[in-house]
Amino acid sequence: MKRTPPRKKPSPIMAAATVHKKGVRKNARKKKSSKVTPVAILKYSFLILLTAFIAAAGYQYRHGFLYYLGFKTNKSIESLSNDERTFANVRNYEIISRNKDKIFGLDVSHYQGDIKWDSIERIKGEFTLDFVFLRSTVGVDSDKKFKSNWHHAKNLGFIRGAYHYYRPDENSLKQANNFIKTVSLGSGDLPPVLDIERISDKQSLDSLKSGVKRWLTAVELHYGVKPILYSGESFYTDYLKKEFKGYYLWIANYSFFEDKIRDEWMFWQFTDKGSVKGVEGNVDINIYNGTLPQLKEILIK
């Protein structure tokens, strides 16, 4: 039988060279595969930002999320939240939790339809609904439900306020006279309110501001009290802040990261997605920046 000659072992030098070459090829492949692309950078940056946002949101609304997950058993804001736990309710819960030393109320118009006033529970848990703003007039027109809502709100013991929705393209004095003719304010009522949240399509911004000033002046002369100015925060800051300093402010701000009423706001409309028993659908909920005795100090004497 023919024997196969034994395989010669490579010399140490040759073995080292072979290993070196394999290592070079392997490292080359690694370097090629580990190249970072712009798409990858964007992807990882987005993930980092998303993680940071979720963490911030979780901390900002930690009490609300506990409520959302069912870990909060004290449902002290049940009348302000639907049975369905939505993110809007998480935010509402958090804001109410952080402003328990303040006074709460709502505002309504004919958009809420026929309100079942007798079903509204003013006292619920750790807070009460103490005041209500009712839309009375819209430009030179009237709110269809104002008279009925005004009457029922008083019978239920609410502190009442009436507001006028300002139409920028209608005569300001006619609008003021319409409000005066429609609304009879007396002792214990809140000052009149002007709701201004739109610029004009037909006149300059200066003309709009002049019209707003005429409305405010006419209404103040009639009732003997300075009106409250309502607007969205951005609109007020951009168009009204410089010329209308000194007015009580009722500001609408639904910002995700706004969780406490600011010092300069008398009233804060913090959501348009509240839920109150007796009111069908969503309703605006507001906070007064003070206590009930302080609220009573600004009422018409």
Q: Which residues are catalytic?
A: 107, 197
**Cα distance between residue 252 and residue 231, in whole Å:** 6
Quick one: tokens of 90?
């998480």
Closest by CA to 163, choosing from 190, 144, 187, is: 190
Quick one: tokens of 278?
């007796």
Closest by CA to 109, choosing from 62, 144, 151, is: 144
Q: How far apart are the first and last CA of the chain?
A: 127
- Check: CB of residue 267 under 8 Å from CB of residue 229: no
Residue 187: strand, helix, or coil = coil
